[in-house]
Amino acid sequence: MAIEVRRSIEEPARVGKLWEAMERGRANRAATIEKTGLDLSAFRDRVRLIKETAAQDPSIAEAFAEAVRANGGRVFFAATGREAVQYVLDVCRANGAEFLVKSKSLTSEEVEMNQGLAAEGIRAIETDLGELLCQVAGEKPSHLVFPAIHMTSDRIARMLSEAYGEPIAPEPSSILSAVRARLRPQFLAAKVGVTGANIGVAETGSIVVETNEGNGRLVTSVPKVHIALIGLEKIVRRWDDAADLVRGHAISATGQRMTVYVSLISQRQPVAKDPAGREFHVIILDNGRTRMRADPWFRDALNCIRCGACMNVCPTYGVTGGHVFGHIYPGPIGIPWTANVHGLEEASFAHLCVSCGLCHEICPVDIDIPLMIAKVKDQDVEAHGQPTAERFFMASEAFAKVACLSAPLANRLLRRGSLRVLMEWAVGVDRRRTLPAFAHRTLRSRFRSREGQVGRVGKVAFFPDLYAEYNNPDQGLRAIEILERLGYSVIIPDVQWSGMPYVSYGRLGKASKLAADNLRVLGPLVDDGYDIVSTEPTAVYMLRKVYPKLLEGSLASKVATHSRGFFEFIEPHLAKLSLRPTADAAGLVGFHIPCHDRALSSGLPAMRFLERASYRVRPVETGTCCGIAGTFGMKSGWLGYDLSMAVGEKLFEQFRESGCDLIATESSVCTLQLQDGLGRPVRHPLDLVRVEGPA
């Protein structure tokens, strides 16, 4: 895996194109959402409801099959991919077909149809341009929506010239004409056409096939026989349900309002009134879906509408590409799908996920992909063991405790090259990564020895997490002091750390236990009128978003609703305070939004806090992660530090070009990454503002 990661990172042309595709995908999507005035959260709720109902109700597939038969079509339920391929083979033989034409179908790739047919002497000709290029090159698609995004036009022209035995100029338009001319006779001679189906509609026994190129239209009209392969989970009950899905596919995949050709096919039509030989077959594929449906960890994956949006935002997919970050299904959602339909052995690319959470944020169906990935990692670690570095970072709290006790010595040692070499060798912490220094006295011990204030406005339980507790108690105290100025009584509850690495490294049992321990402390405080506040975005993310998923029941959701990020919490009261810059002249602050905060407040309250102190603030962002992703970027080598720096490079570049005087972010680990990448100090907003008042 490390070698593959290295190879793909070191191929800048390819990384650049993929990155461009992702950026463009995100920008187009955002623009179309804005233009259509789509209410995204209402849309998410509707799509989710439609898909959830569809994916969980086995009777829908039965009703669909019934309706297809009533229209004169034939239906085959395939329990496995092999059965599906065998059925296609049988239909081809019955019709004397030596080859078939295919329009893009991920499901047919899932069952490895082309290989299965080829082994029996039947050629499947891909007609989607991207898929066709992959087929000619003998490569797997690297992106769900743009399968051949990794190929340049020069390479394509060379490859096709050779394959077609005629010179083809490297201009995209020449390539296009050559492909059109080459494929036409094959379309015209085909006896069998195979498509996937984006949606099945039970009430009329219909399928929806969406293509931009129009190949889907030819595949379903020219050949006498049309076979559609549809995953069980794609069938909805009514046409009313289909409209949102048609919209969702297009917007999230390419930022189009609608796919160019949306074909609603219920049966075969005659040609000039002649129905002879025109057959319609529908294969309904299970291949593990029924099992997924029954699995509370993975049933969410069945709600996927295959739009590819999660791919366009994933930081590590962006630099490694779909060949490394994928098996047949690429990208974030490819991880749970691969683990379930192709087996855990093929899903080891799960460990490339750095748990930034962005895929969940962008998903139009609100699928908690990161949590499913954590489960895949958990299963994989269970089966194959855990790397030492991951074990080390999961013991971060214990390590920090010891380091603090012997802080001056520990800090000296941690700065020393020889110890870092040793640490890299023994536990896999990259020696190039600057680690934060440890404070001699922890936040708790300093908090205890100071005079607390009794406030009348309310009560706050401050959740320090590791950084404020062991590395930077000053920052924690500053936050607490502001809370007290605003009239809050503050305590530091007897909680442990928030435990993100347990999730990132797939130890969900430990994560759940830790969550339960923390909630046992926090629950009664909430009942007693406390709000939970933290300066660490990841801690708030764990409390708000992850604990409720790990533990069912009202305790976790109660604590979640009462947990807030520090700046979000104080924002309504800021008018009471006077805020001034600590620097002599307030300059331009380049602000980095931590990934985990995107699921919360997107850094807005912190940016407004700085603005109130008369800074000019500009978010500097690539739309994805800075690359460190918690402790991932501290691990040594290509599966840690190097990958993390490769992800960060775009962001570093933007900061360099931003002309900002100061750099700020809320997250402690993002701070390390930006400092290492930029060689400049990175400040917490609290360090940049002098707070006084109330008068």
Partner 1 sequence: MRSVREAHKPSCVTSSIGGGTVLFEPGLSDRFKAALLELKAEPHSATRKESTLEILRSVVEGHRANRVVVANLPAELRSVVSGALQGRSVQFMEDLPSTDVLPACAAAEVGVTWAEFAIAEDGAIVEVAHDDAARLAASLPIVHIVLLPAGRLVRDVGAAMAVVGGILRASGPGQRPTVTFISGPSRTGDIELRLLYGVHGPHSLHVILLEWFEGR
CB burial of 321-349 (b: ≥16 within 10 Å; e: otherwise) equals bbbbbbbbbbbbbbbbbbbbbbebeebbb
- Report the residue from 50, 179, 207, 304 that binds ligand SF4 according to the rule CB under 6 A: 304
Closest approach, Cβ 273 to partner 1, in A, equals: 7
What mask of x and - would describe binding to partner 1 in positions 116 to 135, judged by CB under 8 A? Answer: -----------xxxx--x--
Task: Round to whole Å and give the CA distance between 121 and 652.
Answer: 52
What mask of x and - would describe binding to partner 1 in positions 278 to 317, judged by CB under 8 A? Answer: x---------------------------------------
Tokens at residue 88, please?
């296609």
Pick between residue 625 and residue 672 the one whose CB is nearest to ligand SF4.
Answer: 625
Query: Is the CB of residue 551 less than 8 Å from the CB of residue 563?
Result: no
Closest approach, Cβ 204 to ligand SF4, in A, equals: 25
Pick between residue 36 and residue 496 the one whose CB is nearest to partner 1.
Answer: 36
Pick between residue 132 and residue 358 the one whose CB is nearest to partner 1.
Answer: 132
Task: Round to whole Å and give the CA distance between 677 and 680.
Answer: 8
For position 622 contacting ligand SF4 by CB under 6 A, the verdict is no
Q: How many CB atoms lie within 10 A of CB 549?
A: 18
Closest approach, Cβ 599 to ligand SF4, in A, equals: 11
Task: Round to whole Å and give the CA distance between 641 and 634.
Answer: 6
Task: Round to whole Å and give the CA distance between 594 and 572.
Answer: 22
Question: Hey, CA dihedral for 173, 175, 178, 182, is it positive or negative?
Answer: negative
- Cβ contacts of 296 within 8 Å, gap of 6 or more: none
- Report the residue from 41, 59, 173, 554 that binds partner 1 according to the rule CB under 8 A: 173
Task: Round to whole Å and give the CA distance between 124 and 98.
Answer: 9
**Residue 68 to residues 83, 118, 390, 394: CA-CA distances in angstroms?**
20, 29, 52, 53
Taking CB within 5 to 8 Å according to partner kind, which of partner 1, ligand SF4, none is near residue 357?
A: ligand SF4
Number of residues that bind partner 1 (CB under 8 A): 74
Closest approach, Cβ 107 to partner 1, in A, equals: 20
Closest approach, Cβ 203 to partner 1, in A, equals: 7
- Cβ contacts of 191 within 8 Å, gap of 6 or more: 92, 95, 96, 97, 100, 223, 224, 225
For position 213 contacting partner 1 by CB under 8 A, the verdict is yes
Task: Round to whole Å and give the CA distance between 413 and 396.
Answer: 17
For position 149 contacting partner 1 by CB under 8 A, the verdict is yes
Strand (E) positions, 103-184? Answer: 123-126
Taking CB within 5 to 8 Å according to partner kind, which of ligand SF4, partner 1, none is near residue 204?
A: partner 1
Taking CB within 5 to 8 Å according to partner kind, which of ligand SF4, partner 1, none is near residue 269?
A: partner 1
Q: Which stretch binds partner 1 (CB under 8 A): 214-222, 378-386, 415-423, 551-559?
A: 214-222
How much helix, strand and coil, in percent to the nearest 5, is found in the chain?
Answer: 55, 15, 30
Pick between residue 295 and residue 661 the one whose CB is nearest to ligand SF4.
Answer: 295
Closest approach, Cβ 364 to ligand SF4, in A, equals: 6
Going by C-alpha positions, the residue among 302, 377, 294 that lies closest to residue 339 is 377
Q: Which of residues 51-110 bind partner 1 (CB under 8 A)?
A: 67, 70-72
For position 215 contacting partner 1 by CB under 8 A, the verdict is yes
Following DSSP, what letter does each residue of 263-297 receive, concatenated?
EEE-S---BTTB-TT-EEEEEEE-TTHHHHHH-TT
Query: Is the CB of residue 99 less than 8 Å from the CB of residue 186?
Result: yes
What mask of x and - would describe binding to partner 1 in positions 190 to 209, judged by CB under 8 A? Answer: -------------xxxx---
Q: Which stretch binds ligand SF4 (CB under 6 A): 76-84, 154-162, 352-360, 574-582?
A: 352-360
H runs (alpha helix) in 272-362: 289-294, 315-320, 331-337, 358-362
Closest approach, Cβ 601 to partner 1, in A, equals: 32
The residue type found at 671 is: T
Pick between residue 144 and residue 688 the one whose CB is nearest to ligand SF4.
Answer: 144
- Cβ contacts of 361 within 8 Å, gap of 6 or more: 313, 598, 599
Taking CB within 5 to 8 Å according to partner kind, which of ligand SF4, partner 1, none is near residue 332?
A: ligand SF4
For position 218 contacting partner 1 by CB under 8 A, the verdict is yes
Closest approach, Cβ 211 to partner 1, in A, equals: 8
Q: Which of residues 307-336 bind ligand SF4 (CB under 6 A)?
A: 307-310, 313-317, 332-333
Q: Which of residues 240-259 bind partner 1 (CB under 8 A)?
A: 240, 242-244, 246-247, 254, 256-259
Going by C-alpha positions, the residue among 558, 499, 572, 571 that lies closest to residue 530 is 558
Taking CB within 5 to 8 Å according to partner kind, which of partner 1, ligand SF4, none is near residue 86?
A: none
Query: Is the CB of residue 64 less than 8 Å from the CB of residue 201?
Result: yes
What mask of x and - would describe binding to ligand SF4 in positions 354 to 373, judged by CB under 6 A? Answer: xxxxxx--xxxx-x-xx--x
Residues that bind ligand SF4 (CB under 6 A): 252, 304-310, 313-317, 332-333, 353-359, 362-365, 367, 369-370, 373
